[in-house]
Structure 1
Amino acid sequence: MPPDKRSSDGPEVLRPILDVSRETVDRLTVLVELVRKWQPAENLVAPSTLPDIWRRHVADSAQLVPLFPSARRWLDLGSGGGFPGLVLGCLLADRPGAAVHLVESNGRKCAFLRRAAAATGSPVTVHQGRIKSILAGWDTPIDCLTARALAPLDRLLDLSEPILAAGAPAAFFKGADFVREIDEATQSWDLDLVEHKSRIDDRGVILEIRQALRRDAGERPA
């Protein structure tokens, strides 16, 4: 039987990223245990990452808080297993005005997200449906939009255009191939972006999109 890797993977991995209270650790621990419980039936995260869940998913998601310290109202697209949305909810639960909106089309995953939000006491609202449909009529103020492991950058910009056009920035998690994704996206978009090196994945970044303007048809960068 393989060794249990969880013994070296726990809330201590958060320390280099941000200080968290005992209450916050308790909320995150509840979340992690719920993911473990639901994983066999719902495949919430890649199975190979489950033994390293605190680093690969919790700490990775937690990077957003120090990058956007004033953001209280978040919108997480394609929330899936709740990373980063549920982690943000746990981290911001004690902050006045905090609200995290999760958009997910899969009904069973939405059931998990609602269960985890209730169990952790997080300020989370789950919106079930297709992203385009939900954002088409979105009128709730948002400080920052995010997505993790959802789609290529050009597709993310298309999906999130209503929120970006309203002035909210976006924070997209990207892996080693992020330069190619930027090159492809800038064929259709004028971007004001900042690359934040990931503190978890040596090859990854968090792309901060400050502004995204769609190019006219046929227009290409010089």
Structure 2
Amino acid sequence: MSESIAAVEAILPVSRETADRLSRYVALLKRWQPAQNLISPKTLDQIWSRHIADSAQLVALFPGALRWLDIGSGGGLPGMVTAILLAERGDGVVHCVESNQRKCAFLRTAIRETGARAVVHEGRIESVLKQWAEPVDFISARALASLDDLLDLSAPVLAQGAAAAFHKGEDFDVELAEASKSWSLDLVRHKSMIDERSSIVEIRRAERRSA
């Protein structure tokens, strides 16, 4: 098994079929990258650890979660990785919300070529989530917005009982202090398995403070 797949295997054992699906997805990311700028060019040499394994943490942390809503999906991190890992189980679904038409085209191609359990919703996050009615276990987002803004975007679905799992970097304490001015939060900060400076922030409850 290559070092690339080993980055994922270190946190979450996967079958050979899933490893093949992830490899196909990585190949697609690299193929579409020059035209779409799906990930930072500086991280291409670290794509497996920096992006794929980092995204796979969600399934490792929350193995019982089968219904995901990934907002600002972009190139599919973490949504597509979650959806590929769910394909191994044969159930579950990831709803990928993305406003950029070309990135939606990439996501649909990736779903078709990897067999990922995902559906693409093209539109602005605010518009899609305000009308959201389907039950989900978790909302996910990575490198999208500050915690305060993520809570604003996610509020309609959080109010329906969903939890959230947000990838956050070393500035999270500053973001939390700012968000806490407007929100009463029940959260758990999980240390990243990939980068000691980062976290997966689990939001179990979020209530807007009264003015």
Asked whether the two chains share a fold, i.e. TM above 0.5, the reply is yes
**Which residue does 1:51 correspond to in 2?**
45
> How do 1:21-100 and structure 2 match up within 5 A?
21-100=15-94
> 1:160 aligned to 2:187?
no
Secondary structure of 2:184's match? Answer: strand
Deviations 1:103-125 (A, max 9, x none): 00000000000000110011110
Aligned residues: 210
Letter paired with 2:163: P
Letter paired with 1:26: D
Structure 2: how far apart are the matches of 1:40 and 1:97? 33
Contact 1:9 1:52 in 2 (8 A): no
Letter paired with 1:175: G
Structure 2: how far apart are the matches of 1:9 and 1:212? 39
TM-score normalised over the length of structure 2:
0.98
Secondary structure of 1:93's match? Answer: helix
Letter paired with 1:211: R
> How do 1:174-193 and structure 2 match up within 5 A?
174-193=168-187
Matching residue within 124, 137, 140 for 1:146: 140
Secondary structure of 2:204's match? Answer: strand
- For structure 2, the residue ranges without an aligned partner over 5 or more in a row are none
Structure 2: how far apart are the matches of 1:49 and 1:96? 31
Secondary structure of 1:10's match? Answer: helix
**Which residue does 2:202 correspond to in 1?**
208
Shift of 1:97: 3.1
Rg: which structure is higher? 1
Contact 1:73 1:97 in 2 (8 A): no
Structure 2: how far apart are the matches of 1:77 and 1:164? 13
Structure 2: how far apart are the matches of 1:208 and 1:126? 24
Structure 2: how far apart are the matches of 1:158 and 1:80? 19
Letter paired with 1:151: A
Paired-residue identity, %: 60
- Runs of 4+ deviating beyond 3 Å: none
Structure 1: how far apart are the matches of 2:65 and 2:166? 15
> 1:119 aligned to 2:113?
yes
Secondary structure of 2:166's match? Answer: strand
Structure 1 residues 9 and 109: alpha-carbon distance in aligned structure 2, compared to 1, 3 A threshold: farther
Contact 1:194 1:208 in 2 (8 A): yes
> 1:199 aligned to 2:193?
yes
Secondary structure of 2:132's match? Answer: coil
Shift of 1:16: 1.9
Shift of 1:94: 2.8
Secondary structure of 1:94's match? Answer: helix
Secondary structure of 2:10's match? Answer: coil
Shift of 1:49: 0.5
Letter paired with 2:28: L
